[in-house]
Amino acid sequence: MLKLTVVTPSFNHADFLQDALLSVKEQSYPSVEHIIVDGASTDHTCDLLRKNAATPGWEHLRWISEPDKGQSDAINKGFRMATGDLMAWLNADDYLLPGSLEAIAQYAAAHPEVDVVYGDSIFVRKDGDLLRAKKEHAFDFRVLLYRGCYIQSNTTFYRRRVIDEGLLLQESYRVCMDYEYFVRLAGKGKIFGYLNYPVAAFRWQGTNRSLATKQVRKERLQIQDNWSQLRLPHACYDLLSNIFRIKRTSMKLFNGGYWGELKALPYRGMDTRWFRSAAAQDLSKSV
C-alpha cells in the first residue's frame, strides 16, 4: 500500500486550520501522514495542534513551529520531513474532499510511470459554501506554459522520486511558486497524470496570495522567459495566452469538463465541509 503525505504550511490560520486537519483525518485511506509546518504563529495555532496531537486518533499528525522564509520554505521543509511514497501540500485554509486520498493512491498504483498526479477541485467561500466546481483535462505542457497555471496545487501529488532528486520549490517565487514548479518539472521530463476526481476545496478569499495580480504577471513572464523556446516579447505571451485558452476550452469541451462544472451549479451556496455534517458529506460526493 502506498503511503501518502500531506504537508500543510501555516501561519496565523488557526481559524481555518481545523478544517484542513479534519479533512485529512476523516479520509477513508489508512496510510497517511499529515505534517504541519507552522511559521511561528502568534494566534492559537500551536494550542490547536498540541491538543489534536495528544488525542487518540491523531497519530498520523506531526508538526513543527519555527520561523521560516515564507510559504515555499515551509513546504520544502515538510517535503524533506515526509516519509510517504507520494506527497502534496494543502494550504491551511483549504481542505481535501471525501475519498480523495484513496483515489490518488489507486491512480498512482495503476500508473507507476506517472511522476505527478493532479485532479479536480471546487472553489468555496470562507464558510465552505460552494462557489463552483473546476474540472481539468489531460496534461498539456504548452497550455500550462502559455495559458497559465490551470492545475490546482492542492489537488497535486508528487512521487518521492521527484523530491529525492532534489526537485523542490524555488523559494524566490512568492505567489507563482506552484506554476514555476509545474513548468520546471514538466520541462525536466516528469510525467503528469490527470485524475478525473474532485480532490480538494480552495477557499476563495481577497487575501489569497495568488490574487496579487501585478506580482503574478511579473513572475509568470519570468517563468515563460525561462522555459519558452520562442524568446518572445512579453506582449506576445499575452497573445499566446488567448490562443491556448481556446485549446484549453476545446479540451474541456471534449472531455466533458464543462458539463461536470454545470452539474455542480444547483449546489451553489451549500456547505461542502463534509467532515462536519452528513449533509455536507453527501453534497461533496455530488460535486
The DSSP 8-state label assigned to residue 129 in this structure reads: B
Note whether 7 and 75 are within 8 A (CB): yes
User: Structure pTM?
Assistant: 0.95
pLDDT of residue 237: 93
**Of the candidates 284, 79, 126, which has an alpha carbon nearest to the alpha carbon of residue 199?**
284
The total domain count for the chain is 1
Range of 169's domain?
Answer: 4-286
3-state SS of 263-286 is HCHHHCCCECCCCCCHHHHHHHHH
pLDDT at 205 over 90: no
The three-class DSSP label of residue 230 is coil
Q: What is the mean pLDDT of residues 10-36?
A: 98
18 contact partners, CB below 8 Å, separation of at least 6: 48
pLDDT tens per residue across span 83-140: 999 999 999 999 999 999 999 999 999 999 999 999 999 999 999 999 999 999 999 9
pLDDT confidence tier of residue 287, bands split at 50, 70 and 90: confident
164 contact partners, CB below 8 Å, separation of at least 6: none
Strand partners, 65: 38
pLDDT of residue 206: 62
CATH number, domain of 194, equals 3.90.550.10
Q: What is the mean pLDDT of residues 205-210?
A: 59
Mean residue pLDDT across the chain: 95
pLDDT at 216 over 60: yes
pLDDT tens per residue across span 43-91: 999 999 999 999 999 999 999 999 999 999 999 999 999 999 999 999 9
Backbone angles phi, psi at 132, to 5 degrees: -165, 160
Note whether 87 and 167 are within 8 A (CB): no
Q: What is the mean pLDDT of residues 155-169?
A: 98
Q: What is the mean pLDDT of residues 19-27?
A: 98
pLDDT at 208 over 60: no
Cell of residue 203, nine digits:
477557499
- Quick count: other Cβ atoms within 10 Å of Cβ 86? 26
User: Scanning the structure block, which residue is given the C-alpha cell 483515489?
Assistant: 103
pLDDT at 211 over 90: no
